[in-house]
Structure 1
Amino acid sequence: MLITFKSKAASEITMYKEHAKRILEILQKDVERGVITAAELPHAIEKIEAAVADSKAHPISDEVSRDVNAHHNANGDDNEHEKPEPVSFATRVYPVLEMLHAAHKMQREVMWGV
């Protein structure tokens, strides 16, 4: 399932729902549909930037590493796939954070699920 973030201040951003869920949970917003108003943007940006800083301060856990490598068997066979590389939260959230900054600058809201 995909979620598309929209704002009149920036191009649309489409991402997997499972990835958008973490961002929206940080902002205490509904995953299915919602809006970040112009008045909410400064606080939303602050929360996301704090989460990015926190994610950079902590390395990927063993549990996440196991999940990323789940399709590799015990013999090291990669099943004809390249070794997966985890995408950090900071990298994944970057386009949304840029949209929030642009929307804040232009005093526009950010919406999804509409």
Structure 2
Amino acid sequence: MLITFKSKAAADILMYEIHAKRLLDLLGKDVKRGIITAAETGTAIQKLEAEIEAEHRREHEAEEQARRQAQEQGLDEKEVEEEMARHAAKNVKFSARAYPLLEMLRAAHAQGRDVMWGV
């Protein structure tokens, strides 16, 4: 199922419900229908940016651990890089999924507008 985020500050955003749910859970909102008021946009932006930063830290730590394990297994640097590239190609990052909504929230915050979905 698709969720359509709407705001008078930006173009509509379509997102699969499964991906929208993670973002909205982080913001404490229901995935079926809701609103992020103009007053809430600043806090919502901060929460999404903090989660993106946390994701980057977790990815960096996982990469470092994978490098150490690969070196212990005797793989050379090229093989390690190839394996990491294969893994990265399979996964869409949280930041990539969050970016359109984050940009909408920034525009809504700047213009004092709400963001709604399920209406």
Q: Same fold (TM over 0.5)?
A: yes
Task: Pick from 87, 97, 101 the counterpart of residue 96 of structure 1.
Answer: 101
Q: Could you state the TM-score of these two structures normalised by the residue count of structure 2?
A: 0.74
Partner of 1:108: 113
Backbone CA RMSD of aligned residues: 1.6
Cα deviation digits, residues 36-90 of structure 1 (max 9, x gap): 00011111110010011111111297xxxxxxxxxxxxxxxxxxxxx96210000
Gaps of 5+ in 1: 62-82
In terms of fraction of residues, the more helix-rich structure is: 2
Matches within 5 A, 1:35-54: 35-54=35-54
- How many aligned residue pairs are there? 93
Structure 2 unaligned regions, length at least 5: 63-86
| Distance of 1:48 and 1:97 partners within structure 2 | 7
- 1:10: Cα distance to partner? 0.2
Give the share of equivalent positions with the same residue, in percent: 56
- 2:11 corresponding residue in structure 1: 11
Q: Give 3-state SS (helix, strand or coil) of 2:59's partner.
A: coil
Q: How does 1:59-78 map to 2 (within 5 A)?
A: 59=59
86, 111, 114: which one pairs with 2:91? Answer: 86
Q: What displacement does 1:9 show?
A: 0.2
**Structure of greater Rg:** 2
